[in-house]
Amino acid sequence: MVKTTVSIIKADVGSLAGHTVVPQPLIDVANRKLAEAKETGLINSFYVFNAGDDLELLMTHFKGESNEEIHRLAWDTFVAAAEKAKKLKLYGAGQDLLSDAFSGNVRGMGPGVAEMEFEERRSDPMIVFAADKTEPAAFNYLLYKIFADPFNTAGLVIDPRMADGFEFEVLDAIGHKSVTLKTPEESYSLLALIGTTERYMISKIRRAEDGEIAAVSSTTKLSLIAGKYVGKDDPVCLVRGQSGFPAMGEITAPFLHTYLVAGWMRGSHWGPFMPVGLKDSRCTVFDGPPRIVALGIQVADGKLASDDQGRPLIVDIFADPGFDLARREALELAAALRRMGEFEPARLGPGAMEYTTLPQVLKKLEPRFKKV
Ligand code: F6R
Ligand code: MG
Ligand code: MG
């Protein structure tokens, strides 16, 4: 049976009024480019949206993961959108396109990628998460809650198809290596790693029973690619739901509350993760707070399930009042943190600050220090 691939590829190629939002003309460029690719049969369906200042290309196709044609399509789309952004003199035009020429795969070139190939079940519901003003490790807490915490996911206790637990692939972004840990047996060891969000990030989760892919997230670290601060690595993540995977409501339940993630303002501050609907997907207060959108989709016969006009059917999950409590908590926490200004722990620790513009400021002071 032919397998379906879901790819989400994203980049910040310019935004309106600073790092606030992707304006409609860039969304229009991306829609045009992907519509052409659908016409030629390269992709089967697509949905373009934004997470704050990040342009998000959600695509389904039969080409598999890391496919050169698909990645070239995403790259060309970002280049076209960046050109539009340059014409409009938008802010940070072309920011995440770290190379002048495409070389086969967008990984390592700036854009963030999450892709999964699978044999479709009778029905395949999924959630697409996309966040702005944070980093891939922001999903560590979320994914642990969904796939390893029985106080969040009742299915871990009640559904026999999840009884064997899940395998978590964890990337060490600094050591350039990865390790796979299995829950529930190794959940303490897993937490020992992924609690260090500065270094470790969950890249993939499989169901232990049969190795079936359950979740993937982007793992781009722009600063490690470029060797300097070039904005945060605003992440994306795909999670499969239902029938032996966590229910859609178990995937969203962690967002009854907010939690803190790194990357707010200048990639330099902790901020409360605020779940928002697409209409509120713009980063305003202190360039934030870090925001996350969640789209519920159904994958059907290689496509996003669509209406009769071919428009994908999308549930804008966080637009629901069910997430009002998390939003209120997020704003209260945001206010408390901002009262602290540049004092830790509102500001990130020195390790993370090395990848910001702070070291340039500190360097100037170096000659003035006297030995004691
Ligand atoms: C961008 C971001 C923003 C910027 C800030 C300063 O991803 O997080 O908070 O870092 O707006 O931007 P510059 O240095 O471009 O003026
Ligand atoms: Mg930006
Ligand atoms: Mg961004």
Residue 163, domain member (yes or no): yes
Distance 31 CA to ligand 2 centre (A): 20
Indicate whether residue 267 lines ligand 1 (CB < 6 A): yes
- In 52-109 the beta strands, taken as DSSP E runs, fall at 54-61
DSSP 343: S
Indicate whether residue 18 lines ligand 1 (CB < 6 A): yes
Query: What residues does the ion ligand 3 have nearby, CB within 5 Å?
Result: 12, 53-54, 132, 234
Ligand 1 atom closest to the CA of 133, numbered from 1: 8
**Bridge-partner residues for 45, per DSSP?**
60
- pLDDT tens digits along 211-231: 999 999 999 777 777 767 666
Distance 168 CA to ligand 2 centre (A): 30
Q: 219, exposed or middle or buried, with CB in 10 Å at 0-12, 13-18, 19+?
A: buried
Provide the residue count of the chain: 372
Residue 243, domain member (yes or no): yes
Task: Measure the CA–CA gap between 196 and 97, rounded to whole angstroms.
Answer: 28
Q: Which ligand is nearest to the CA of 267?
A: 1
DSSP-derived 3-state class of residue 132: strand
Pocket test for ligand 1, best of 220, 265, 358 (most atoms within 8 A of CB): 265
C-alpha torsion 182→114→94→312, nearest 10: -150
The alpha carbon of 42 is separated from its chain's Cα centroid by a whole number of angstroms, namely 24
Distance 60 CA to ligand 2 centre (A): 26
Q: Which pLDDT value is given to residue 336?
A: 98
Distance 94 CA to ligand 1 centre (A): 14
Residue 365, domain member (yes or no): no
DSSP-derived 3-state class of residue 103: coil
Name the domain count of the chain.
1
Ramachandran sector of residue 14 (left: φ over 0; alpha: ψ -120 to 50; beta: rest): left
Q: Which pLDDT value is given to residue 229?
A: 67
Residue 89, domain member (yes or no): yes
Ligand 1 atom closest to the CA of 357, numbered from 1: 14
**What is the residue with the minimal CA distance to atom 14 of ligand 1?**
266
**Pair 23, 287: CB distance under 8 Å:** no
**Neighbouring C-beta atoms of residue 88, cutoff 10 Å:** 14
Residue 364, domain member (yes or no): no
Note down the domain range covering 280: 4-359
pTM for this prediction: 0.97
H or E element: which one contains 138? helix 138-148
Residue 370, domain member (yes or no): no
Residue 371, domain member (yes or no): no
Nearest to 132 by CA among 29, 264, 225, 269: 264
Nearest to 170 by CA among 159, 157, 162, 182: 182
The reply to whether omega before 321 is within 30° of 0 (cis) is no
| Strand pairing category for 200-207 and 166-172 | antiparallel
Task: Measure the CA–CA gap between 14 and 93, rounded to whole angstroms.
Answer: 4
Name the residues annotated as catalytic.
12, 229, 232
Residue 303, domain member (yes or no): yes
Indicate whether residue 360 lines ligand 1 (CB < 6 A): no
Distance 78 CA to ligand 1 centre (A): 20
Indicate whether residue 266 lines ligand 1 (CB < 6 A): yes
Q: Which ligand is nearest to the CA of 288?
A: 1
- pLDDT tens digits along 256-303: 999 999 999 999 999 999 999 999 999 999 999 999 999 999 999 999
Indicate whether residue 287 lines ligand 1 (CB < 6 A): yes
Ligand 1 atom closest to the CA of 91, numbered from 1: 15
Mean pLDDT by 10 residues, the chain (372 residues): 96 97 98 98 98 98 98 98 98 91 88 97 98 97 98 98 97 93 98 97 97 95 70 90 98 98 96 98 98 98 96 98 98 98 97 91 96 96
- In 301-369 the beta strands, taken as DSSP E runs, fall at 303-304, 315-316
How many CA atoms are closer than 13 Å to the CA of 255, on its beta-carbon side? 26
Nearest to 97 by CA among 115, 114, 85, 88: 85
Distance 20 CA to ligand 3 centre (A): 8
Q: Which pLDDT value is given to residue 339?
A: 98
Pocket test for ligand 1, best of 10, 19, 291 (most atoms within 8 A of CB): 19
**Neighbouring C-beta atoms of residue 285, cutoff 10 Å:** 14
Dump the DSSP string for 18-52: TTTB--HHHHHHHHHHHHHHHHTTS-SEEEEEEET
Task: Measure the CA–CA gap between 37 and 76, rounded to whole angstroms.
Answer: 11
